[in-house]
Structure 1
Amino acid sequence: MTAEVPDSASFGRFAVSPEERRRRIRRVFEAVAPRYDLMNDLMSFGIHRLWKRRLARRCAGRGGVVVDLAGGTGDMARLLGEDGRMVVVCDPSWAMMEAGRRRGVSAAWSAGEAERLPFATASVDLLTISFGLRNATDVGAALAEIHRVLKPGGRFACLEFSRPARWLAPFYDLYSRLVIPRLGAAVAGQPEAYDYLVESIRRFPDQQALAAILDGAGFQSVSWENLSFGIACIHYANRSL
Protein backbone atom coordinates (compact mmCIF):
# COMPACT_ATOMS: atom_id res chain seq x y z
CA MET A 1 0.00 0.00 0.00
CA THR A 2 1.25 3.46 -0.82
CA ALA A 3 1.74 6.25 1.67
CA GLU A 4 -0.96 8.39 0.12
CA VAL A 5 -3.23 10.15 2.58
CA PRO A 6 -6.74 8.66 2.23
CA ASP A 7 -9.35 10.56 0.24
CA SER A 8 -11.12 12.86 2.69
CA ALA A 9 -14.06 13.64 0.43
CA SER A 10 -15.83 10.28 0.61
CA PHE A 11 -18.42 8.82 2.91
CA GLY A 12 -19.20 5.17 2.47
CA ARG A 13 -19.70 4.51 -1.22
CA PHE A 14 -20.67 8.08 -2.11
CA ALA A 15 -18.44 11.06 -2.86
CA VAL A 16 -19.36 14.09 -0.76
CA SER A 17 -17.76 17.41 0.05
CA PRO A 18 -15.46 17.63 3.11
CA GLU A 19 -18.01 19.83 4.88
CA GLU A 20 -20.81 17.35 4.25
CA ARG A 21 -18.60 14.49 5.42
CA ARG A 22 -17.87 16.43 8.61
CA ARG A 23 -21.58 16.91 9.27
CA ARG A 24 -22.39 13.26 8.61
CA ILE A 25 -19.62 11.98 10.89
CA ARG A 26 -20.82 14.27 13.65
CA ARG A 27 -24.36 12.96 13.25
CA VAL A 28 -23.04 9.39 13.43
CA PHE A 29 -21.40 9.95 16.79
CA GLU A 30 -24.26 11.99 18.20
CA ALA A 31 -26.58 9.12 17.30
CA VAL A 32 -24.48 6.37 18.91
CA ALA A 33 -23.17 8.34 21.91
CA PRO A 34 -25.55 6.85 24.54
CA ARG A 35 -24.44 3.28 23.78
CA TYR A 36 -21.05 3.87 22.20
CA ASP A 37 -18.98 2.20 24.93
CA LEU A 38 -21.38 -0.75 25.17
CA MET A 39 -21.16 -1.27 21.41
CA ASN A 40 -17.35 -1.17 21.55
CA ASP A 41 -17.43 -3.86 24.23
CA LEU A 42 -19.75 -6.06 22.19
CA MET A 43 -17.98 -5.58 18.85
CA SER A 44 -14.52 -6.30 20.24
CA PHE A 45 -15.55 -8.74 23.01
CA GLY A 46 -14.05 -6.20 25.42
CA ILE A 47 -10.59 -6.43 23.84
CA HIS A 48 -10.58 -2.71 22.98
CA ARG A 49 -10.15 -2.04 26.71
CA LEU A 50 -6.96 -4.12 26.75
CA TRP A 51 -5.68 -2.22 23.72
CA LYS A 52 -6.33 1.09 25.44
CA ARG A 53 -4.63 -0.08 28.62
CA ARG A 54 -1.60 -0.99 26.52
CA LEU A 55 -1.57 2.51 25.07
CA ALA A 56 -1.86 4.05 28.54
CA ARG A 57 1.04 1.94 29.82
CA ARG A 58 3.19 2.94 26.85
CA CYS A 59 2.50 6.60 27.66
CA ALA A 60 3.20 6.31 31.40
CA GLY A 61 5.64 8.84 32.77
CA ARG A 62 4.85 11.51 30.20
CA GLY A 63 3.74 14.48 32.29
CA GLY A 64 2.89 18.05 31.43
CA VAL A 65 -0.02 18.83 29.14
CA VAL A 66 -1.76 15.64 27.98
CA VAL A 67 -4.45 15.75 25.30
CA ASP A 68 -6.64 12.84 24.23
CA LEU A 69 -7.91 13.83 20.81
CA ALA A 70 -11.24 12.42 19.63
CA GLY A 71 -11.51 11.34 23.25
CA GLY A 72 -15.28 10.94 23.14
CA THR A 73 -16.67 9.57 26.39
CA GLY A 74 -13.31 9.81 28.15
CA ASP A 75 -12.47 6.13 28.64
CA MET A 76 -8.91 6.73 27.39
CA ALA A 77 -8.58 9.89 29.46
CA ARG A 78 -9.56 7.95 32.57
CA LEU A 79 -6.74 5.47 31.95
CA LEU A 80 -4.20 8.18 31.18
CA GLY A 81 -5.19 10.01 34.35
CA GLU A 82 -4.81 7.05 36.70
CA ASP A 83 -1.32 8.24 37.69
CA GLY A 84 -2.64 11.67 38.67
CA ARG A 85 -2.18 13.46 35.37
CA MET A 86 -4.87 15.86 34.25
CA VAL A 87 -5.98 14.98 30.73
CA VAL A 88 -7.77 17.26 28.28
CA VAL A 89 -10.38 15.47 26.19
CA CYS A 90 -10.77 17.18 22.82
CA ASP A 91 -13.64 15.98 20.65
CA PRO A 92 -16.00 17.58 18.11
CA SER A 93 -19.05 15.87 19.63
CA TRP A 94 -20.50 17.42 22.77
CA ALA A 95 -22.92 14.48 22.97
CA MET A 96 -20.01 12.05 23.33
CA MET A 97 -18.24 14.19 25.91
CA GLU A 98 -21.43 14.75 27.86
CA ALA A 99 -21.82 10.98 28.15
CA GLY A 100 -18.36 10.84 29.73
CA ARG A 101 -19.05 13.75 32.05
CA ARG A 102 -22.23 12.07 33.32
CA ARG A 103 -20.15 9.02 34.19
CA GLY A 104 -17.84 11.11 36.34
CA VAL A 105 -14.68 10.89 34.23
CA SER A 106 -12.14 13.30 35.72
CA ALA A 107 -10.85 15.34 32.79
CA ALA A 108 -10.97 18.75 31.18
CA TRP A 109 -13.32 18.87 28.18
CA SER A 110 -12.71 20.92 25.05
CA ALA A 111 -14.68 20.93 21.81
CA GLY A 112 -12.44 20.84 18.77
CA GLU A 113 -11.68 19.10 15.51
CA ALA A 114 -8.40 17.45 14.59
CA GLU A 115 -7.92 19.79 11.65
CA ARG A 116 -8.30 22.90 13.84
CA LEU A 117 -7.03 22.13 17.32
CA PRO A 118 -7.83 24.69 20.04
CA PHE A 119 -4.31 24.61 21.50
CA ALA A 120 -1.34 26.95 21.17
CA THR A 121 1.66 25.99 19.07
CA ALA A 122 4.20 23.85 20.96
CA SER A 123 1.99 23.60 24.06
CA VAL A 124 1.28 19.85 24.40
CA ASP A 125 3.63 17.23 25.84
CA LEU A 126 1.64 14.12 24.92
CA LEU A 127 -1.21 13.75 22.44
CA THR A 128 -3.07 10.47 22.02
CA ILE A 129 -5.88 9.48 19.71
CA SER A 130 -7.78 6.19 19.81
CA PHE A 131 -9.87 5.06 16.83
CA GLY A 132 -10.35 8.66 15.74
CA LEU A 133 -7.75 9.55 13.13
CA ARG A 134 -9.63 7.71 10.39
CA ASN A 135 -12.62 9.98 11.05
CA ALA A 136 -10.70 13.16 10.35
CA THR A 137 -12.04 15.01 7.33
CA ASP A 138 -8.46 15.67 6.18
CA VAL A 139 -5.90 13.30 7.70
CA GLY A 140 -2.98 15.33 6.37
CA ALA A 141 -4.30 18.54 7.94
CA ALA A 142 -4.98 16.70 11.21
CA LEU A 143 -1.40 15.41 11.40
CA ALA A 144 -0.06 18.87 10.60
CA GLU A 145 -2.11 20.28 13.48
CA ILE A 146 -0.96 17.55 15.86
CA HIS A 147 2.65 18.27 14.90
CA ARG A 148 2.06 22.00 15.43
CA VAL A 149 0.66 21.75 18.95
CA LEU A 150 3.25 19.27 20.25
CA LYS A 151 6.24 20.66 22.05
CA PRO A 152 9.68 19.85 20.60
CA GLY A 153 10.27 16.26 21.66
CA GLY A 154 6.55 15.84 22.40
CA ARG A 155 5.02 12.40 21.90
CA PHE A 156 2.18 11.33 19.59
CA ALA A 157 0.52 7.93 20.05
CA CYS A 158 -2.26 6.73 17.76
CA LEU A 159 -4.31 3.59 18.44
CA GLU A 160 -6.22 2.62 15.34
CA PHE A 161 -7.66 -0.34 13.51
CA SER A 162 -5.23 -1.70 10.94
CA ARG A 163 -4.61 -4.74 8.72
CA PRO A 164 -4.77 -8.14 10.43
CA ALA A 165 -2.42 -11.00 9.62
CA ARG A 166 -3.14 -12.75 6.34
CA TRP A 167 -4.51 -15.89 7.97
CA LEU A 168 -6.94 -13.83 10.06
CA ALA A 169 -8.04 -11.35 7.41
CA PRO A 170 -10.85 -13.44 5.78
CA PHE A 171 -12.51 -14.16 9.12
CA TYR A 172 -12.18 -10.56 10.26
CA ASP A 173 -13.61 -9.35 6.96
CA LEU A 174 -16.70 -11.55 7.31
CA TYR A 175 -17.20 -10.47 10.91
CA SER A 176 -16.95 -6.77 10.10
CA ARG A 177 -19.28 -7.03 7.11
CA LEU A 178 -21.96 -9.27 8.57
CA VAL A 179 -21.91 -8.95 12.35
CA ILE A 180 -20.98 -5.38 13.27
CA PRO A 181 -23.82 -3.62 11.36
CA ARG A 182 -26.33 -6.09 12.80
CA LEU A 183 -25.05 -5.39 16.30
CA GLY A 184 -25.39 -1.69 15.57
CA ALA A 185 -28.99 -2.23 14.56
CA ALA A 186 -29.88 -4.47 17.49
CA VAL A 187 -28.17 -2.59 20.33
CA ALA A 188 -27.72 1.01 19.23
CA GLY A 189 -30.53 1.18 16.68
CA GLN A 190 -28.09 2.67 14.17
CA PRO A 191 -27.07 0.17 11.47
CA GLU A 192 -26.12 2.94 9.04
CA ALA A 193 -23.69 4.43 11.57
CA TYR A 194 -21.90 1.13 11.95
CA ASP A 195 -21.86 0.59 8.19
CA TYR A 196 -19.91 3.84 8.06
CA LEU A 197 -17.56 2.80 10.86
CA VAL A 198 -16.76 -0.48 9.09
CA GLU A 199 -16.17 1.35 5.81
CA SER A 200 -13.86 3.86 7.49
CA ILE A 201 -11.73 1.00 8.85
CA ARG A 202 -11.43 -0.54 5.40
CA ARG A 203 -10.29 2.70 3.81
CA PHE A 204 -7.67 3.56 6.41
CA PRO A 205 -3.95 3.02 5.60
CA ASP A 206 -2.24 -0.10 6.86
CA GLN A 207 0.68 -0.14 9.28
CA GLN A 208 3.46 0.65 6.83
CA ALA A 209 1.44 3.24 4.92
CA LEU A 210 0.49 5.20 8.05
CA ALA A 211 4.10 5.11 9.26
CA ALA A 212 5.18 6.59 5.92
CA ILE A 213 2.49 9.29 6.20
CA LEU A 214 3.71 10.22 9.69
CA ASP A 215 7.27 10.39 8.44
CA GLY A 216 6.18 12.59 5.56
CA ALA A 217 4.33 14.88 7.97
CA GLY A 218 7.60 15.70 9.74
CA PHE A 219 7.43 13.34 12.71
CA GLN A 220 10.51 11.52 13.93
CA SER A 221 11.15 8.17 15.65
CA VAL A 222 8.12 6.68 13.92
CA SER A 223 7.30 3.10 14.95
CA TRP A 224 4.32 0.85 15.46
CA GLU A 225 3.16 -2.04 17.61
CA ASN A 226 0.61 -4.58 16.36
CA LEU A 227 -2.16 -5.69 18.71
CA SER A 228 -4.26 -8.85 18.32
CA PHE A 229 -2.40 -9.98 15.20
CA GLY A 230 -2.71 -6.59 13.54
CA ILE A 231 -6.44 -5.99 13.99
CA ALA A 232 -5.34 -2.87 15.83
CA CYS A 233 -2.04 -1.06 15.94
CA ILE A 234 -0.42 1.66 18.04
CA HIS A 235 1.70 4.11 16.07
CA TYR A 236 4.28 6.20 17.95
CA ALA A 237 6.03 9.35 16.78
CA ASN A 238 7.79 12.41 18.20
CA ARG A 239 8.00 16.01 17.17
CA SER A 240 11.64 16.82 16.48
CA LEU A 241 13.64 18.74 19.09
Structure 2
Amino acid sequence: MKTLLLIGMGAGNPEHFTVQAIHALNRATVFFVLDKGSITQDLVRLRLEICQRYIREPAYRVVQVSDPKRDSTTPRYTDGVEQWHAQRAEVVARLIEHELQDGECGAFLLWGEPALYDSTLRMLDRVRDQGLTGFDYEVIPGISSVQALVARHRIALNGIGQPIRITTGRQLSAADLDNVVVMLDAHCAFEAFVDQDVDIYWGAYIGTADEILIAGELSDVCAQIKQVRAQARLRKGWIMDTYLLRRRRRGAEN
Protein backbone atom coordinates (compact mmCIF):
# COMPACT_ATOMS: atom_id res chain seq x y z
CA MET A 1 0.00 0.00 0.00
CA LYS A 2 1.22 3.48 -0.90
CA THR A 3 0.65 6.28 1.58
CA LEU A 4 0.26 10.02 1.00
CA LEU A 5 0.62 12.63 3.73
CA LEU A 6 -1.09 16.00 3.28
CA ILE A 7 0.91 18.16 5.66
CA GLY A 8 -0.25 21.65 6.59
CA MET A 9 2.82 23.86 6.65
CA GLY A 10 1.26 26.97 8.14
CA ALA A 11 1.03 30.46 6.74
CA GLY A 12 4.73 30.92 6.00
CA ASN A 13 6.63 30.78 9.28
CA PRO A 14 8.59 27.51 9.58
CA GLU A 15 7.93 27.64 13.31
CA HIS A 16 4.21 27.20 12.59
CA PHE A 17 5.03 23.54 11.97
CA THR A 18 3.41 21.32 14.58
CA VAL A 19 5.16 18.41 16.27
CA GLN A 20 2.77 16.09 14.43
CA ALA A 21 3.82 17.66 11.13
CA ILE A 22 7.52 17.21 11.94
CA HIS A 23 6.93 13.53 12.68
CA ALA A 24 5.08 13.23 9.36
CA LEU A 25 7.98 14.85 7.49
CA ASN A 26 10.29 12.20 8.84
CA ARG A 27 8.03 9.39 7.61
CA ALA A 28 8.07 10.55 3.99
CA THR A 29 10.53 9.28 1.41
CA VAL A 30 9.22 11.37 -1.50
CA PHE A 31 8.02 14.99 -1.46
CA PHE A 32 5.83 16.20 -4.31
CA VAL A 33 5.91 19.87 -5.33
CA LEU A 34 3.44 21.36 -7.82
CA ASP A 35 5.46 24.24 -9.21
CA LYS A 36 3.54 27.34 -10.33
CA GLY A 37 6.53 28.79 -12.18
CA SER A 38 9.28 31.32 -11.56
CA ILE A 39 6.96 33.87 -9.96
CA THR A 40 6.32 31.70 -6.91
CA GLN A 41 9.78 30.20 -6.44
CA ASP A 42 9.70 31.62 -2.90
CA LEU A 43 7.05 29.03 -2.04
CA VAL A 44 9.08 26.17 -3.50
CA ARG A 45 12.22 27.32 -1.70
CA LEU A 46 10.39 27.52 1.62
CA ARG A 47 9.20 23.92 1.26
CA LEU A 48 12.76 22.75 0.62
CA GLU A 49 14.07 24.77 3.58
CA ILE A 50 11.47 23.17 5.84
CA CYS A 51 12.60 19.71 4.78
CA GLN A 52 16.23 20.59 5.45
CA ARG A 53 15.35 22.06 8.83
CA TYR A 54 13.20 19.29 10.26
CA ILE A 55 14.11 16.00 8.57
CA ARG A 56 16.69 14.12 10.63
CA GLU A 57 17.78 11.60 7.98
CA PRO A 58 18.01 13.27 4.56
CA ALA A 59 17.27 10.06 2.66
CA TYR A 60 14.40 11.55 0.71
CA ARG A 61 13.87 12.89 -2.77
CA VAL A 62 11.86 15.78 -4.18
CA VAL A 63 9.74 15.40 -7.30
CA GLN A 64 8.82 18.76 -8.79
CA VAL A 65 6.28 19.06 -11.63
CA SER A 66 4.48 21.94 -13.27
CA ASP A 67 1.11 22.83 -11.82
CA PRO A 68 -1.58 23.22 -14.53
CA LYS A 69 -2.88 26.75 -14.91
CA ARG A 70 -6.52 27.53 -14.31
CA ASP A 71 -8.35 28.92 -17.35
CA SER A 72 -9.69 32.27 -16.16
CA THR A 73 -11.59 32.89 -19.44
CA THR A 74 -14.38 30.38 -18.87
CA PRO A 75 -17.81 32.09 -18.66
CA ARG A 76 -18.54 30.45 -15.32
CA TYR A 77 -15.92 30.52 -12.57
CA THR A 78 -16.91 27.06 -11.29
CA ASP A 79 -16.41 25.54 -14.76
CA GLY A 80 -12.85 26.83 -14.86
CA VAL A 81 -12.15 25.45 -11.40
CA GLU A 82 -13.63 22.05 -12.32
CA GLN A 83 -11.42 21.82 -15.40
CA TRP A 84 -8.38 22.88 -13.39
CA HIS A 85 -9.05 20.32 -10.66
CA ALA A 86 -9.44 17.59 -13.28
CA GLN A 87 -6.07 18.51 -14.81
CA ARG A 88 -4.40 18.58 -11.40
CA ALA A 89 -5.91 15.19 -10.56
CA GLU A 90 -4.27 13.73 -13.66
CA VAL A 91 -0.91 15.09 -12.55
CA VAL A 92 -1.33 13.72 -9.03
CA ALA A 93 -2.44 10.33 -10.36
CA ARG A 94 0.75 10.08 -12.45
CA LEU A 95 2.86 11.01 -9.43
CA ILE A 96 1.25 8.31 -7.28
CA GLU A 97 1.49 5.70 -10.00
CA HIS A 98 5.01 6.35 -11.28
CA GLU A 99 6.93 8.14 -8.53
CA LEU A 100 5.76 6.27 -5.43
CA GLN A 101 6.60 2.61 -4.91
CA ASP A 102 4.45 0.16 -2.99
CA GLY A 103 5.15 0.59 0.72
CA GLU A 104 6.59 4.09 0.27
CA CYS A 105 5.26 7.23 1.90
CA GLY A 106 4.91 10.41 -0.15
CA ALA A 107 3.98 13.89 1.04
CA PHE A 108 2.58 17.19 -0.11
CA LEU A 109 3.53 20.25 1.92
CA LEU A 110 0.41 22.38 1.68
CA TRP A 111 0.20 26.07 2.41
CA GLY A 112 -1.80 26.73 5.55
CA GLU A 113 -4.43 24.14 6.41
CA PRO A 114 -5.15 21.20 4.02
CA ALA A 115 -8.89 21.26 4.78
CA LEU A 116 -9.43 25.03 4.31
CA TYR A 117 -9.53 26.37 0.76
CA ASP A 118 -7.15 23.78 -0.62
CA SER A 119 -8.00 21.44 -3.49
CA THR A 120 -5.69 18.50 -2.75
CA LEU A 121 -8.32 16.44 -0.91
CA ARG A 122 -10.73 16.93 -3.83
CA MET A 123 -7.99 15.88 -6.25
CA LEU A 124 -7.43 12.63 -4.37
CA ASP A 125 -11.18 11.94 -4.46
CA ARG A 126 -11.03 12.40 -8.24
CA VAL A 127 -8.03 10.11 -8.52
CA ARG A 128 -9.90 7.34 -6.72
CA ASP A 129 -13.04 7.96 -8.76
CA GLN A 130 -10.92 7.45 -11.89
CA GLY A 131 -10.00 3.99 -10.66
CA LEU A 132 -6.51 4.42 -9.22
CA THR A 133 -6.43 2.48 -5.96
CA GLY A 134 -3.71 0.94 -3.82
CA PHE A 135 -3.02 4.11 -1.89
CA ASP A 136 -4.25 5.70 1.29
CA TYR A 137 -3.75 9.18 2.70
CA GLU A 138 -3.61 11.07 5.96
CA VAL A 139 -4.25 14.73 6.73
CA ILE A 140 -1.96 16.52 9.16
CA PRO A 141 -3.57 19.84 10.11
CA GLY A 142 -1.64 23.09 9.95
CA ILE A 143 -2.00 26.63 11.19
CA SER A 144 -4.17 28.49 8.72
CA SER A 145 -3.72 32.10 7.65
CA VAL A 146 -6.97 32.79 9.50
CA GLN A 147 -5.40 31.77 12.81
CA ALA A 148 -2.13 33.53 12.02
CA LEU A 149 -3.95 36.73 11.01
CA VAL A 150 -5.84 37.21 14.27
CA ALA A 151 -2.81 36.15 16.31
CA ARG A 152 -0.63 38.79 14.64
CA HIS A 153 -3.32 41.45 15.13
CA ARG A 154 -3.81 40.27 18.73
CA ILE A 155 -7.58 39.98 18.44
CA ALA A 156 -10.11 37.20 19.01
CA LEU A 157 -11.59 35.64 15.90
CA ASN A 158 -15.17 35.91 17.12
CA GLY A 159 -17.16 38.35 19.21
CA ILE A 160 -19.00 37.23 22.33
CA GLY A 161 -21.90 34.99 21.33
CA GLN A 162 -21.29 35.70 17.63
CA PRO A 163 -20.68 33.34 14.74
CA ILE A 164 -17.76 33.75 12.33
CA ARG A 165 -18.08 33.39 8.58
CA ILE A 166 -15.19 32.49 6.28
CA THR A 167 -15.67 33.24 2.60
CA THR A 168 -13.92 34.43 -0.56
CA GLY A 169 -13.77 37.88 -2.05
CA ARG A 170 -16.02 36.68 -4.85
CA GLN A 171 -18.78 35.77 -2.36
CA LEU A 172 -18.44 38.67 0.09
CA SER A 173 -21.70 40.54 0.69
CA ALA A 174 -23.01 43.26 2.99
CA ALA A 175 -24.88 40.61 4.98
CA ASP A 176 -21.51 39.16 6.10
CA LEU A 177 -20.03 42.26 7.67
CA ASP A 178 -20.78 41.53 11.31
CA ASN A 179 -17.76 39.19 11.51
CA VAL A 180 -16.24 37.71 8.35
CA VAL A 181 -12.82 36.44 7.30
CA VAL A 182 -12.07 36.82 3.59
CA MET A 183 -9.57 34.69 1.69
CA LEU A 184 -8.70 34.43 -2.01
CA ASP A 185 -9.62 38.02 -2.80
CA ALA A 186 -7.77 39.12 -5.92
CA HIS A 187 -9.79 42.30 -6.46
CA CYS A 188 -10.01 44.03 -3.06
CA ALA A 189 -13.72 43.27 -2.59
CA PHE A 190 -13.65 45.17 0.71
CA GLU A 191 -13.60 48.44 -1.24
CA ALA A 192 -17.33 48.05 -1.94
CA PHE A 193 -18.07 48.52 1.76
CA VAL A 194 -16.14 51.68 2.64
CA ASP A 195 -19.45 53.41 3.45
CA GLN A 196 -20.18 50.81 6.13
CA ASP A 197 -19.14 51.26 9.75
CA VAL A 198 -16.60 48.41 9.55
CA ASP A 199 -13.12 47.71 10.90
CA ILE A 200 -10.63 45.73 8.82
CA TYR A 201 -7.69 43.62 10.02
CA TRP A 202 -5.58 42.88 6.93
CA GLY A 203 -2.40 40.89 6.51
CA ALA A 204 -0.19 39.72 3.66
CA TYR A 205 2.67 37.16 3.65
CA ILE A 206 1.70 36.47 7.26
CA GLY A 207 4.45 34.84 9.29
CA THR A 208 7.21 35.58 6.79
CA ALA A 209 9.94 38.21 6.66
CA ASP A 210 7.77 40.11 4.14
CA GLU A 211 4.74 40.26 6.46
CA ILE A 212 2.54 43.36 6.17
CA LEU A 213 -0.21 44.20 8.68
CA ILE A 214 -2.73 47.04 8.47
CA ALA A 215 -5.76 47.58 10.70
CA GLY A 216 -8.30 50.32 11.25
CA GLU A 217 -11.66 51.64 10.17
CA LEU A 218 -12.16 50.53 6.59
CA SER A 219 -12.99 54.01 5.32
CA ASP A 220 -9.67 55.27 6.74
CA VAL A 221 -7.31 52.52 5.54
CA CYS A 222 -8.95 51.17 2.37
CA ALA A 223 -6.81 53.25 0.00
CA GLN A 224 -3.66 52.46 1.97
CA ILE A 225 -4.29 48.71 1.80
CA LYS A 226 -4.93 48.85 -1.94
CA GLN A 227 -1.72 50.80 -2.56
CA VAL A 228 0.45 48.66 -0.29
CA ARG A 229 -1.03 45.46 -1.74
CA ALA A 230 -0.39 46.56 -5.33
CA GLN A 231 3.19 47.56 -4.56
CA ALA A 232 3.90 44.28 -2.75
CA ARG A 233 2.45 42.20 -5.56
CA LEU A 234 4.49 44.09 -8.14
CA ARG A 235 7.66 43.68 -6.08
CA LYS A 236 7.32 39.92 -5.46
CA GLY A 237 5.17 38.86 -8.42
CA TRP A 238 2.56 37.24 -6.15
CA ILE A 239 0.65 37.95 -2.99
CA MET A 240 -1.21 35.95 -0.37
CA ASP A 241 -3.41 38.05 1.87
CA THR A 242 -6.28 37.49 4.29
CA TYR A 243 -8.44 39.91 6.20
CA LEU A 244 -11.19 40.12 8.78
CA LEU A 245 -14.07 42.60 8.52
CA ARG A 246 -16.03 43.37 11.65
CA ARG A 247 -18.92 45.78 12.02
CA ARG A 248 -18.07 48.37 14.63
CA ARG A 249 -19.92 48.22 17.91
CA ARG A 250 -18.85 51.26 19.84
CA GLY A 251 -18.75 50.67 23.54
CA ALA A 252 -19.07 46.88 23.17
CA GLU A 253 -16.35 44.48 24.20
CA ASN A 254 -15.24 41.53 22.05
Please tell me the TM-score bracket, short chain as reference: 0.3 to 0.5
TM-score (norm 2): 0.32
Bigger fraction of residues in helix: 1
